[in-house]
Chains A and B, each alone.
Chain A
Amino acid sequence: MKTQILLLGDEALALGALNAGLSGAYAYPGTPSTEIMEFIQMNPLTKERGIHCHWSSNEKTAVEEALGMSYAGKRSLASMKHVGVNVAADPLLNSAMTGANGGMLVIAADDPSMHSSQNEQDSRFYADFAMLPMLEPSSQQEAYEMAKYGFQLSEHYRIPVMLRMVTRLAHSRGNVTVDAEAEPENTLSDVANPRQWVLMPGNSRVRYKQLINDYADLTAESEKSPFNTFTDAPDHSLGIVVSGVANNYYRELWKDGKSPWPMVKISQYPLPADMLRNLVETCDEVLVIEEGQPFIEQHMRGVLNSNPKIHGRLDGYLPRTGELDPESVRLGVLKLRPSTPGLEKEETQPVPEVVVARPPALCKGCGHRDVYAALNESIESYPHARVFGDIGCYTLGYLAPFRAIHTVLDMGASITMAKGASEAGVHPAIAIIGDSTFTHSGMTGLLDAVNEDSDILVIISDNLTTGMTGGQDSQGTGKLEEICLGLGVNPEHLHTIDSLPKNHNDMVELFRNEIDHHGLSVVISRRECIQTARRSKK
């Protein structure tokens, strides 16, 4: 029996995985991937079956844990935002070498246009690099169906399958027809080729050749995939390639979604070369419309760019950066085929000049505010002070009114960049990092600083949660002092203070004292996130 419900793309994917017999989900929160794990955590089936759904410390541990479950024969997934794949890149690329036993999905949620991210890297390059198959749903329904399909593909070829979401699918609701019953979970099973799971050079060399052979089979699989389609049309003066959600923006242009030109839709990789070759050979020109970086277009052009009839983001028909939308796709098609019937539109009204920008800001009552207010005052007398920021709500300290941080790179980089700058001669060099980011990737950097007694002040602004993504459990809650002591921070220079307005003067003094200490100092400033505090009161 099937029923129809309304789900976010993330939720549809999560439910698809649950209904396909998922045994364990592993993830670190990150926009736009967070709701995948949250949906699994809230689903009654998870409790009933005891499906693993605890947050991991970071994306690397998540992928390794998921691979362990796959090794044991059960179906697992690891989900993360696109930049999380960088953190998980080591186990991800090597999991192509070990292969999978139980079906395993690695879900990367890309954020083109950087709605809530520091770059717009496209995870399809990772799949290509690792030689892993990848699925890229174009709708909530496909996201649901691809979970099961992905597990089957993974088990058939004994390899993890990547699945690429993008913000506009992850965070968009749509009608999804779902199964009423979930399939049973896999039972424990031994791996088919035990040698392959020990990546010593001798084993790896054998396996690598096998992987290359399998990749050819996976390409053949893409050619016949139900998710990769060719739709012919009479006018071969132009051919269209769309992938993922770009399919929707393109079809939106036409009545009933019917393209006047032949169209290849790609939602499964490796790229189906024959499908693409056929389109290029039978059409005068080809427009490639894809969300994110020009992955397909680049592959089709090749480094020699010897086929001038291919168009897309690289030759200016579509914007080189940012996410697509129906308007940019319309303008791209119109640029290539001016005066196409149905594509002309009248000008709309502009945004009135009176409208001003409304940038995000730290909430009223947020402890990060008190930390920045005190920090700014404590370094007033040091014109060369540099504050190294990190990833989280407190990144907003860069904006007015605080304008308090000078760098933001990636998870954990505040501590290590401060250390490097201090070694170059910067004083004071101050790192500010949130509790969840600290346990994600800050601890190893802090150990470096301990070992050299680096002249830096590390402020761990602890709000007892993973705030930016909506308040998920933080893995270091209640343990931060012990973690710092365990790593070897000198107890005399490890301090904890409640980041409250009434403690402003004490915080200023504490920061000043620790700046004057020419060695490693850690201050844990603590106050529960105002958002989670409000929710728990309700």
Chain B
Amino acid sequence: MKCDIILAGVGGQGILTIATIIGKAALKSNMNIRQAEVHGMSQRGGDVQSDLRISTSEIFSDLIPKGEADVIVSMEPMEALRYLPRLSPQGWVVTNTTPFINVTDYPETSLLDAELDKLPRVVKLDIDRIAKDLGAPRSANIVLLGALTPFIHLPKEALEEAVAAHFARKGETVVAQNIAAFRYGYERAEKNTPDNL
């Protein structure tokens, strides 16, 4: 089993938290992991991206080869599209639909939406709104992690445990909120999984 995931977003949106939680779950499941991050200048509001690879066999490259990513998961709709050349022809895109507008020439959101709709395999969720509705506005990235889970060949339970462990320090309420966010995202995406196509 091998799964290559591209995490995308804007500096400060919390994609590295998603990567950290998947990493913990994968390590506990005795998988090999490589996760390349971006630090430094681009973290100041620029586009950021992380390559996350998990596999039962040895992983050589820290970077996912072009056209081989199984999933692009993005905290932001335009950022989901930026990495399409790296997606496998059979790959999935799981993305937030709320734009993060910090450049003056940001495109019309309807144009982004149209591009996303052209993709054969895409899950679009307004995770910002979902997180707010769940009363946990800071857990948008965990909603997205839940939505990513059906695509990454790690047991849902392992990821849920890793979410709980990640937030344990912050108390029971925060853990419960994040578990709820995770489950909601999972259920929404599951309806779109390859098996149900």
Contacts and interface: CB of A to CB of B under 8 A. Distances in A.
A173 B37 CA distance: 8
A130 interface: no
Nearest to B52: A173
Interface string A150-175: 00000000000000000011011111
> What band does the interface of chain A fall in when counting residues whose beta carbon is under 8 Å from B?
35 or more
Contacts of B111: 354
A31 B33 CA distance: 23
Interface residues of B, number: 51
A31 B67 CA distance: 29
Nearest to B40: A116
B165 interface: no
Interface stretch (B83-91, B140-148, B173-181): B83-91
A348 B61 contact: no
Interface string B139-179: 00000000000000000000000000000000000000000
A361 B84 contact: no
B65 A356 contact: no
Interface in B36-83: 36-47, 57-67, 78-79, 81-83
Nearest to A362: B44
B67 A348 contact: yes
B178 to A, nearest CB: 17
B188 interface: no
A249 B107 CA distance: 35
A174 B33 contact: yes
A327 B60 contact: no
Given A248-B60, A351-B81, A361 B45 contact: yes
A234 interface: no
A248 B46 contact: no
Contacts of B89: 346, 348
Given A172-B37, A359-B46, A361-B46, A348 B87 contact: yes
B47 A348 contact: no
Given A116-B41, A351-B84, A325 B23 contact: no
A355 interface: yes
B62 A355 contact: no
Contact of A174 (B62, B84, B85): B62
B65 A252 contact: yes
B38 A171 contact: yes
B84 A173 contact: no
A32 interface: yes
B44 A396 contact: yes
Contacts of A31: 39-41
Interface in A302-356: 325-327, 330, 345-346, 348-352, 354-356
Given A6-B33, A116-B40, A175-B32, A358 B46 contact: yes
B41 A360 contact: yes
A171 B36 contact: yes
A330 B106 CA distance: 34
Contacts of B23: 6, 173
B87 A349 contact: yes
A115 B57 CA distance: 30
A468 interface: yes
B62 A348 contact: no
A491 interface: no
B170 to A, nearest CB: 10
A4 interface: yes
Given A168-B36, A249-B63, A257 B58 contact: yes
A233 interface: no
Contacts of B85: 348-351
B114 to A, nearest CB: 8
Contact of A360 (B44, B57, B81, B87): B44
Contacts of B42: 115-116, 360
Given A172-B37, A359-B46, 12 more contacts: A4-B27, A31-B40, A171-B37, A171-B38, A172-B35, A174-B32, A175-B32, A345-B67, A348-B84, A358-B45, A360-B41, A362-B44
Interface of B: 10-11, 23-24, 27, 32-47, 57-67, 78-79, 81-87, 89, 102-107, 111-112, 115
8 contacts: A31-B40, A32-B39, A172-B36, A173-B23, A174-B32, A252-B61, A325-B63, A327-B65
Interface of A: 4-6, 8, 31-32, 34-35, 115-116, 168-169, 171-175, 245, 247-249, 251-252, 256-257, 325-327, 330, 345-346, 348-352, 354-363, 393, 396, 400, 468-470
- Which 8 A-B pairs have CB atoms at the shortest separation, nearest pair first? A116-B40, A360-B46, A31-B40, A326-B65, A252-B61, A172-B62, A348-B67, A172-B36
